[in-house]
Amino acid sequence: MLKVARYLTIASLTTCAALASVSLTAGVSAAGTEGGRTVLPGGQPAWATSQALRSSAPGSDYVNIRVYLTWRDEAAAQQAAQAVSTPGSASYRHFLTPAQFRLQFSPTQSSVTAVQQFLRNAGFSMVNTPGNNRFVAAEGTVAQAQTAFSVRLGEFAISGKTLRAPESDVSIPSALAGIVQGVVGLDQSSELMSATNTAGNGPSQSHGSPGVGFRAGQPCSLWFSEKTVATLSAPAYGSASKPLAPCGYTPAQVRGLYGLDTVAADGSGQTVAFVGANASPTLQNDVSRYSTLHNLPAPSITEVVAPGVYRHPDTPKQVPGDFYGEETLDAEAIHTTAPGANLLFVGSSNANQDFDASINHIVDKHLSNIISISYGFSGENVPRGFINSLNGTFIQAVATGIGVYVSSGDNGDETSTFGTPAVDFYADSPNVTAVGGTSAAVVPTAAIPSATYGSIDAPSSALNQPGWRRDFEVGWQTGRDVISSAPSDNL
């Protein structure tokens, strides 16, 4: 299931793109053909098993899909991303502009037109296609989707929810083979995302409640071991007393922990983008008040919604306020570490759709050099087609000089969840920097990193390891991350 990481993402104040060295395994190159149609492997999530199937999906339900198109000369796109991010390469840090990337690698307009015509013939309404022609977004019904992609959509029991998914891999007309990489949106894997407060009732208002703010229990410590309490039984771990939890580390303490208080760079001239749902109506006020309380400069926050985001909430699993707390946490964390940087929030219309479209919007428009993503799926619990489609967007990010920093998750290597080690998505992508959590023992004069929380080093079953990982003799990606402040910052 999805977990939202509760930690501070330290974004580099300079552009630091992760390296690209991945072979996209899902796509038409590996597809089979059946009677004039081509099967696209990777469209069915692993949780959509026959044992979990409960019923057929109602034919009149809305579906919002994005048909992802393969980059033109995908191998060359990967090589370009590798070259600009490899020290010693003649192209190192000579990033492509969005226009240059489109010219070399974007799908052709004729390919886009062919996909659009296919969808229109199936009864879908066109929503939009981004400037890089990465996908064609469309709206329709379950019945139309089943006919278009020759697949049955069922309702499956998973993690206490009933979610829609294909009962098998989808297929497309063979004329589109070599053009289409995958179809996103037929399943509801994104419903497994746990945000700040989930609810069983659907959204019925334009804005949800901001929810209850986090408060540390009292009494608490201003620094590690400022206040202690005697244990109630025999001494544990060699001590008869234990420190009380910190009240929450201040921006000054966090900046001191990473040595940011001794450098002049504060992020000025940079923009850090982050992604969420619904756009909290209190975001600006929350971060402004936080800044005033902690003597930070007034924040510069811009909020945008990517074109074509889904406007028909098709399931009642989450309320509009689910992501409000996460958005505020992200903005305050970024403003703490880079108080001079501009903050850009790119939202989707609900917590269940459009995150991939929002990320593509940032990348294709090059709205920032840094993207912070503080959530991710526990394990690779989404269709391979979704993983590979979004990883293709991350390839463009690398090639054009955008660093993407993502949560490594809250459950370590996920052994407690799945019984075997597994890396989380998005952290499994070799084109992003995964960031785990660190508990810091802040004392009056210093800060000492102690234990990690939410960190991960586990294998990916979907993606190969990046080119810079030469220290391990494995043939797949492992999700080792960098560390950042986590449970004790209370930001």
User: Tokens 């209190």 — which residue?
Assistant: 282
pLDDT at 488: 42
pLDDT at 353: 59
- Classify residue 339 by burial, with Cβ atoms within 10 Å: 0-12, 13-18, 19+: buried
235: left (phi over 0), alpha (psi -120 to 50) or beta: beta
Query: Which residues partner with 33 through β-bridges?
Result: 38
Domains of the chain are: 2-22+247-485 (3.40.50.200), 28-192 (no CATH)
pLDDT at 195: 47
CA distances from 411 to 104, 290, 451 (A): 40, 29, 14
pLDDT at 5: 36
Are residues 177 and 38 in contact, defined by beta-carbon separation less than 8 angstroms? yes
Written as tens digits, the pLDDT of the chain (491 aa) is 333 333 333 333 333 433 333 333 333 334 445 559 999 988 888 889 999 999 999 999 989 899 999 999 989 999 999 999 999 999 999 999 999 999 999 999 999 999 999 999 999 999 999 999 999 999 999 999 999 999 999 999 988 889 999 999 999 999 999 999 999 999 988 777 654 333 333 333 445 556 666 677 788 888 777 888 876 565 555 667 788 888 888 898 888 888 898 999 999 999 999 998 777 889 999 999 999 999 999 999 999 987 766 555 544 555 667 778 888 989 999 999 999 999 999 988 665 557 889 999 999 999 999 999 887 766 556 777 788 888 999 999 999 999 999 887 665 565 555 556 667 777 778 899 888 766 666 766 555 555 444 444 544 444 455 555 555 444 444 444 454 555 444 44
pLDDT at 205: 40
pLDDT at 315: 47
Are residues 26 and 388 in contact, defined by beta-carbon separation less than 8 angstroms? yes
Distance CA 25, CA 264 (A): 44
Q: What is the pTM of this model?
A: 0.81
pLDDT at 150: 97
pLDDT at 417: 56
Burial pattern 69-104, b for ≥16 Cβ within 10 A else e, equals bbbbebeebbebbbbbbbeeeeeeeebbebeebbee
Residue/partner pairs of 198-205 with CB below 8 Å, 24 or more apart: 198/317, 198/318, 198/319, 198/322, 199/318, 199/319, 199/322, 200/316, 200/317, 201/316, 201/319, 202/313, 202/315, 202/316, 202/317, 202/319, 203/313, 203/316, 203/318, 203/319, 203/320, 203/350, 205/320
Distance CA 211, CA 215 (A): 12
